[in-house]
Every structure is written in C-alpha cells, then in structure tokens.
Amino acid sequence: MKCLIVDDEEMARRNLENLCSKIADLEVVGVCNNAIVALKSLRELEVDLLLLDIQMPELSGMELVKSSTNLPQVIFTTNLSSFAVEAFEFDVTDYLTKPIRLARFIKAIEKARMRQPIEVKKNDKSLVLKNGKDHIYLHYKDLLYIEYRENEIVFHLQNGKTYRAQSEISSLKQKLKQAGFEPIHPTLVVNVSKVDRVGEDHVEIGKKRLPVSRTSANYIKVVAV
C-alpha cells in the first residue's frame, strides 16, 4: 500500500516514517506538514492510505475528512482521544492515539489491507481478492452469485464456500457483465449460466432461491434460456 503521512510535528512525522519502515509492503510516497499541502499531494500522488493528524493549523485533519470526497483510507494519528466517536462516523479505518506502539500500528495496517478495493485481473477469467498479504483467485466459472451488503461483498461459490471483501459493487459491475453476470436485485448479481430455474419473483441457483426485482425478472428469463 502507498501511504501519505500528514502531521505538523516533525518528531511525529519521523516516528510514523519509522513505523512504516517496519512493514515491508507499506510504502511512504509523501510526507506533509499540514493538511493544505496534503490536499495538493493527494491530487498528484497515488495514495491508498492517509496517516492523518487531527490538530493542525489552518485546516485540521477532521476538517479535511469532513470537507473532502474520494479520499483514500484514513487512519487518524493524534494526541486526542476525544474525536474518536466523531471520526468513525466518517468511516475512517482506524484511530490511533500517540505514542503509537508498533503492535497497534500493525493491527491498524492489517485493517487497512482488508478494506483495500478488489482488484480485477485484466485479460483473465478470474477476480483477485486481497486478503491481507495473500491474494485469492476466484474463477468466474466457479461463482454462483454475488451478494452486496452495505460495504461488504460476499462471493458465493459452486462448492459452497464463501469469500468476503470490502469494496463497492459499482467497481465490478462492468467486468461481471462481460463475464456473463447479471443483476437480479439491488443487492444480488448472478452467474446467468448457473441459473437452474426462473420464477415470477425469484431464481433458483445452486439450491438457493434468490429474489428477483420486477425490472429484472423478464430480462433474466430471456438471457437464462
């Protein structure tokens, strides 16, 4: 993961750089001494993770999170514990209070890894899911259907296994459509080639009965034939 450090205290920046150096696949791509500079860096750099202080002049870390869209994952690193509840309302990955111990930092980075978006392997017939340092290859032919639960996607396989990942379903829709998957409901996408039966308000697939929205029912009947 590519990381951007933002803190107005030099010692804090050095400490964070030292912690990052102990994690092999964590790359520090930039270090900023205030949130204004960080905004510029975010436009210019590829960043997966923001290590962000809260108390800073001109623009605080909390104000940055509140006022920005399309931010990478955020881990707050701060002397204050009083903003923790508010921070998690903005879906930050973690909240670390200084001084930050290595074991606690590693745990926060593991959480960030688990929340990394799903990668779609180009020119292949599979999805690649990140699971910590590991990568899991799910072949389209083995997938029955995909279920979307808030920010979690559940992949249901033909052999009965399930895999979970945190991502936005919108990032997968085009690739899935090209692979023969179709939405049958706002929360469900099925492998059309695996559909056993289509009813008025449901489909049967892999011994599972799944609901079908009215707008999808007639279309699925056609493409599943």
- The pLDDT tens digits along the chain (225 residues) read 899 999 999 999 999 999 999 998 899 999 999 999 999 999 999 999 999 999 999 999 999 999 988 899 999 999 988 889 888 888 899 999 999 999 999 999 999 988 876 554 444 577 777 655 567 788 889 999 999 887 678 899 999 888 887 665 566 777 788 888 888 888 899 999 999 988 888 889 988 999 988 666 665 655 555
Residue 30: the pLDDT is 97
pTM: 0.57
3-state secondary structure string, the chain?
CEEEEECCCHHHHHHHHHHHHCCCCCEEEEEECCHHHHHHHHHHCCCCEEEECCCCCCCCHHHHHHHCCCCCEEEEEECCCCCHHHHHHCCCCEEEECCCCHHHHHHHHHHHHHCCCCEECCCCCEEEEEECCEEEEEEHHHEEEEEEECCEEEEEECCCCEEEEECCHHHCHHHHHHCCEEEEECCEEEEHHHEEEECCCEEEECCEEEECCHHHHHHHHHHCC
Query: Which residues of the chain does CATH 3.40.50.2300 include?
Result: 2-114
**Domain 119-223 -> CATH class:** mainly beta
Query: Which residues of the chain does CATH 2.40.50.1020 include?
Result: 119-223
At the topology level, CATH places domain 2-114 in Rossmann fold (3.40.50)
